[in-house]
Amino acid sequence: MPHKLLLAACLLLAACGQPAHDQTADLDKPYPPTQGGTLVDAMSGEPSGLIAMLAGESAASAIAANLFNSLLKYDKNLELEGELAKSWEVSRDQKTLTFHLKPGMKWSDGKPLTSDDVLFTWKLVTDDNTRTPYGADYKLVIRAEAPDPLTFRVTYAQPYAPALDSWAGLHILPRHLLEGQDINTTPFARHPIGSNYYQLDEWKNGERISLKRNPNATQGQPRIDRLVSRFIPDPASQFLELMADNIDTMGLSPIQYARIFPARPELTRKIAQYKELGNAYTYLGFNLKHKPWDDRRVRLAINYAIDKQELIDGVLLGLGEPIASPYKPGTRWSNPDLKPYPYDPARARQLLKEAGFEDHDGDGILDRDGKPLSFEILTNQNKQREMSATLIQRRLKEIGIDVRIRVLEWASFIGRFIKTGDFDVVVLGWSLGQEPDQFNIWHSSQQDPGKFNFIGYSNPKVDRLLEQGRLELNPDKRMKIYHAFSKQLYEDSPIVYLYAGYGLPAIHKRVKGIDNPAPPAGIGHNAYEWYIPEPLRRTEIAEK
């Protein structure tokens, strides 16, 4: 390294360039698939541990997904297929599921992976000592057994439609390493041994987690040798790192995607932009236990007074879709008959008048019984939600509603306002999963502090539909149930659906083999097939 001699000069003059990785190789040329290389990405937070059932953060799940397998998984079209399981059967009474594991699977330490491990994991996730929020699904299993090393069988008291989905979401953990340990405190969370494409190479606290290829992987070998996730908390720094070619991929904001990239040919030359259906939607939720939100007319009025297209244009720069049910647009669960409430301020005023809100005292703000219609929108530190709240505030002011905004960091938000029910209106998001069951969010039994139905929604008809939906395994009948559920929800309007934004990943063009346009499962679904042709690899990370 001759330039190290220039160190002193460098520090004084800050003038010597780094001759590293200037891209002379052609990025757009086709290259045959090859093995090797390193993919670097950035995460804003560091995982607390890598056992997904314990660590709630998205950072933990993202990394753990490369280390562990579930029995089942979703393919690129969001249909279930086997992962550790080769096949599965549902019994005639629809209460028993039998999984047949692929033969000869191993953990990355070389020990065999059998149905014993699956049974052990089920015991863990249902154990009352395990600090997991995800136990409920698995506790419905009344009997779990592993009759032979390749068979795992679970029996439910009654048919449970979300069961298969739940087995696609449970990472199977190794019994031989965890038995007899306290799962909540085990060092395994920081030294995991898994079965998926990669294994942990190194975890530098506060800096990065590196994964390397797992030679014993149960799903075949990935093409890229190493995955490095750097912890870069600030999104501005992340973007600079992407521009400087120090990371290969990050999720873009709408402004970066729609404004900065088109204006910067040097970026589009080396970085490819992708667009995929997002897996979350943003909503405005009313505290139905507070007045006047118990009045459907008031809720509808607010719904009519919010211009969803303006939100999509303003907050997402058009990179999102309006929704009218809590399901991904275009999937079978989404009810095609429902259309978002249009922007209609006259209608909103009319409804408010019917509910008794008029500007009696002439101060420009509607009032009822001498009390002005005034409330606070609460949201957490999230740029898009904050902007949405600001736009909504503006629109509501036009029809005479006084809105204040309060932006809080997550801990205060949850602890002081959501759990205690001490809020009027929130702007928040829910994820859009593959499984239509939303019992936890909408069933009237789920209103206790800390549970998900914190807005206090309660409708016996919806309760019944949600209960039915869980028992029905026939996809077509199920679809009808959830369409009816969405319709009822739409009519009650306990929340205002604002938008579902797109996911906007940017990936350096050195990474090849990416499906574009993105299939329903998103571009990450075949990450194990991605490859980095040798001439395009970073020189500074040449393996030694």
Partner 1 sequence: MNRALSNPLAQWGFAIIATILVLAALAPWIAPYDPDAIDVKSILLAPSTTHWMGTDGLGRDVFSRMLFGARISLLVGFVAVGIATFIGVILGAISGFYRGWIDVVIMRLVDIMLSIPTFFLILAVIAFLTPSIWNIMIVIGLTSWMGVTRLVRAEFLSLREREYVLAAETLGARNFRLIFRHLLPNSLTPIIVSTVLGIASAVLVESSLSFLGLGVQPPQASWGNILTDGKEYIQFAWWLSAFPGMAILITVLGYNLLGEGLRDALDPRTKS
Partner 2 sequence: MIQYLAKRLFWMVPLLIGISLISFLILHLAPGDITTTEAGFNPKASEESRQKLRKLYHLDEPLMVQYGLWLKRMATLDFGESFAGHQRPVLWEKKDEKGNVTKGMIQEALPITLLINVISLILTMLLAIPLGMIAARKHHQWQDRAITVFNFVGFSIPGFWLSLLLMYWLGVVYNIFPISGIHSINYQSFSTWDKIYDTTRHLFLPIVIPSLTGLAGITLFVKNGMLDVLHQDYITTARAKGLAEDVVIRRHALRNALLPLITIMGLSIPGLIGGSVIAETLFAIPGMGKLFYDAVMMRDFPVIMGILTIGAALTLIGNLLADIAYAWADPRVRRGVVR
Q: Does 11 bind partner 2 (CB under 8 A)?
A: yes
- Which single residue is written with the structure tokens 């800390």? 450
Rounded CA-CA distance 486/463 in Å is 12
- Which single residue is written with the structure tokens 């914190």? 454
Q: Which does 451 bind (CB under 5 to 8 A by kind): partner 1, partner 2, none?
A: partner 2
Q: Which does 389 bind (CB under 5 to 8 A by kind): partner 2, partner 1, none?
A: partner 1
CB-nearer residue toward partner 2: 23 or 151: 23
Query: Closest approach of Cβ 175 to partner 2, in Å?
Result: 17
Q: Does 190 bind partner 2 (CB under 8 A)?
A: yes
Q: Which does 390 bind (CB under 5 to 8 A by kind): partner 2, partner 1, none?
A: partner 1
Q: Does 12 bind partner 2 (CB under 8 A)?
A: no
Q: Does 24 bind partner 2 (CB under 8 A)?
A: no
Q: Does 342 bind partner 2 (CB under 8 A)?
A: no
Nearest residue to 285 via CA among 494, 108, 1: 494
Rounded CA-CA distance 459/470 in Å is 17
Q: Which does 541 bind (CB under 5 to 8 A by kind): partner 2, partner 1, none?
A: partner 2
Contact at 8 Å (CB) between 152 and 98? yes
String marking each residue 141-180 x if it binds partner 2 according to CB under 8 A: ----------------------------------------
Give the DSSP per-residue string, 159-221: --TTHHHHHTS-----HHHHTTS-TTT-GGGTS----SSEEEEEEETTTEEEEEE-TT-TT--
Of 159-167, 297-305, 404-412, 500-508, the window that binds partner 2 (rule: CB under 8 A) is 404-412
- Which single residue is written with the structure tokens 């905004």? 405
Q: Does 383 bind partner 2 (CB under 8 A)?
A: no
Contact at 8 Å (CB) between 418 and 410? no
Give the DSSP per-residue string, 44-106: SS--S-S-TTT--SHHHHHHHHHH---SEEE-TTS-EEESSEEEEEE-TTS-EEEEEEPTT-B
Residues that bind partner 1 in the complex, under the rule CB under 8 A: 235-236, 239, 243, 253, 255-256, 259-260, 263-264, 310, 313-314, 317, 381, 386-387, 389-391, 393-394, 405-409, 411-412, 416
Task: Work out the end-to-end distance of the chain between its first and last CA atoms, rounded to an integer number of angstroms.
Answer: 15
Q: Is 378 exposed, middle or buried (0-12, 13-18, 19+ CB in 10 A)?
A: buried
Q: Which does 204 bind (CB under 5 to 8 A by kind): partner 2, partner 1, none?
A: partner 2
- Contact residues toward partner 2 (CB under 8 A) are 1, 4, 7, 10-11, 14-18, 20, 38, 40, 48-49, 55-56, 131-133, 135, 184-185, 187, 189-191, 202, 204-208, 210, 228, 230-234, 236-237, 240-241, 243-244, 246, 409-412, 414-416, 418-420, 448-452, 540-542, 544
